[in-house]
Amino acid sequence: MATAMAMNRIQHLTGSNNLVPDWMSKEVSTGTTIMAVEFDGGVVIGADSRTTTGAYIANRVTDKLTPIHDHIYCCRSGSAADTQAIADVVTYQLGFHSIELDEPPLVQTAANLFKEMCYRYREELMAGIIVAGWDKRRGGQVYTVPVGGMLVRQPVSVGGSGSTYIYGYVDSNYKSGMNKEECLRFTAGALSLAMERDGSSGGVVRLASISEEGVERRVILGNELPKISRA
């Protein structure tokens, strides 16, 4: 291990990388596919489960759907360390805010807290986050905070490295007015397609649906994924 560390330092200085595998020096990243869809009465969120350091899969069963409050979740993509740190801070801030208000927080509030942090520290961070949840004022909402710190509400949002491959599929298959089951199938289908094409996405599909009643989580294992592609 000491030899590897020494080699690492030499590599870093000389710039070559034959002596030590790339995953010993690469940052942990959730190269990923995340997605969230609004429906009347709530939201459906989904993510793959692969975390990579270079070519090594550090965690093949990652949970990228992180609770921020009772009815608000966030989907994380980008640097695993950055997104975990941001989510922890926002969870604290939102929890405090909710106690002050003495009522459940708004999804828009959570989204704005993420945006504030991601925009203020945009030079140091690498984080793409989708905030989704349910509140009494506006029902199910999806807000996307991509790298750079923009904030926009969308009925459907995809993110992460695998999302580029499914823009066409999502654009053509999304219809407004889908119910919860249709949204779950749509999300699982889109994530499966992305996982098949993106090397940084894979593992299992994690889904969650958030509504007034609460949060319902499920996992779709590799052999149970919808077989959409004919390969």
Partner 1 sequence: MSSNNNEWRSAAVSTGTTIIAVRYDGGVVIGSDSRASMGGEYVSSRVINKVVQVHDKIFCCMSGSLADAQAVTNAVIHKLNFHSMQMGEPPLVQSAASIMREFCYNHRDELSAGFIVAGWDRKKGAQVFDVSMGGMVVEQEFTIGGSGSTYIYGYVDAKFKPGMTRQQCVTFTTNAITLAMDRDNVSGGVVHLAVVTESGAERQLIPGNKLPVFQRI
Per CB under 8 A, which region of 18-26, 56-64, 178-186, 192-200 contacts partner 1?
A: 192-200
Q: Is 96 in the site for partner 1 (CB under 8 A)?
A: no
Q: Is 4 in the site for partner 1 (CB under 8 A)?
A: no
d(CA 181, CA 198): 26
Q: In this structure, what token pair is assigned to residue 119?
A: 């925009």
Q: Is 152 in the site for partner 1 (CB under 8 A)?
A: no
Among 9, 12, 138, 197, binds partner 1 (CB under 8 A): 197
Q: Are 61 and 220 in contact (CB under 8 A)?
A: no
Per CB under 8 A, which region of 42-50, 52-60, 82-90, 148-156 contacts partner 1?
A: 148-156
Q: Is 231 in the site for partner 1 (CB under 8 A)?
A: yes
Catalytic residue among 3, 14, 32, 66: 32
SS3 121: coil
Half-sphere exposure in the Cβ direction for 10 (13 Å, CA): 10
Amino acid, single-letter form, for residue 60 = R
Torsion 10-30-189-173 (CA) sign: negative
Q: Is 108 in the site for partner 1 (CB under 8 A)?
A: no
Secondary structure letter of residue 155 according to DSSP:
S
Please state the closest distance from residue 207 (CB atom) to partner 1, in A.
17
* Cα radius of gyration rounded to whole Å, the chain: 19
The most distant pair of C-alpha atoms in the chain lies apart, rounded to whole Å, by 59
Sheet holding 214-220, edge to edge: 156-159, 34-39, 42-47, 205-211, 214-220
Q: Are 163 and 190 in contact (CB under 8 A)?
A: no
Would residue 30 show up in a list of annotated catalytic residues for this protein? Answer: no
Q: Which is nearer to partner 1, 2 or 231 (CB)?
A: 231
Q: Which is nearer to partner 1, 3 or 176 (CB)?
A: 176
Please state the closest distance from residue 194 (CB atom) to partner 1, in A.
6
Applying CB under 8 A, what is the total number of residues that bind partner 1? Answer: 25
Q: Is 179 in the site for partner 1 (CB under 8 A)?
A: no
Q: Is 169 in the site for partner 1 (CB under 8 A)?
A: yes
Using CB under 8 A, which residues numbered 28 to 87 contact partner 1?
none
Catalytic residue positions, numbered: 32
List contacts with partner 1 (CB under 8 A).
154-156, 164-172, 174-176, 189-190, 193-194, 196-197, 228-231
